[in-house]
Amino acid sequence: MPTIVSLVLLSWLAACGSPSTDNAVNNDDDVVCPADTPPPSDQCLEGNCGNDLGVGRPCTKGGGQCDVFNLLAGEAGICIPDFADNTRVHCCSKPCNVDDDCGSDAVCAADPVTERLGCSPTACVGR
């Protein structure tokens, strides 16, 4: 299984680019989300279009919303439900070792099932 995950991640990395606000929509005065941003899967994601690294941008399984982020550059190029069926929080994330790896308003948290570390919006910790 780790080999399959590694191959999937490598194929994603080849397609990753830089974050973009092309076709952006404004949900309120302070938050500008890309037009393809799905509705939040959990209340903890309300008003969140991702931090400075993309952590917290809502996404859907197989939807490609996190593909605009470059995982090799430390951005949140992983959509959590693409790898974890046990989550209510469907957002972009990235691997981490410490909170500073996750950018603003996000923390490095362990998956309760796999114990792997990944970034989570601070408002979503424990969900």
What would the two tokens of residue 95 be? 């691997």
pLDDT at 69 over 90: yes
How much of the chain exceeds pLDDT 90, in percent? Answer: 57
Tokens read off for 17: 């680019």
What is the C-alpha separation between 80 and 22, in angstroms, rounded? Answer: 23
Q: What single-letter amino acid sits at 35?
A: A
pLDDT at residue 4 in the model? 34
What the block records as the tokens of 93 is 């994330």
- Please tell me the pTM assigned to this model: 0.74
The pLDDT mean for the chain works out to 79
> Exposure pattern of 14-34 as b/e (b: 16+ CB <10 Å)?
eebeebeeeeeeeeeeeeebb
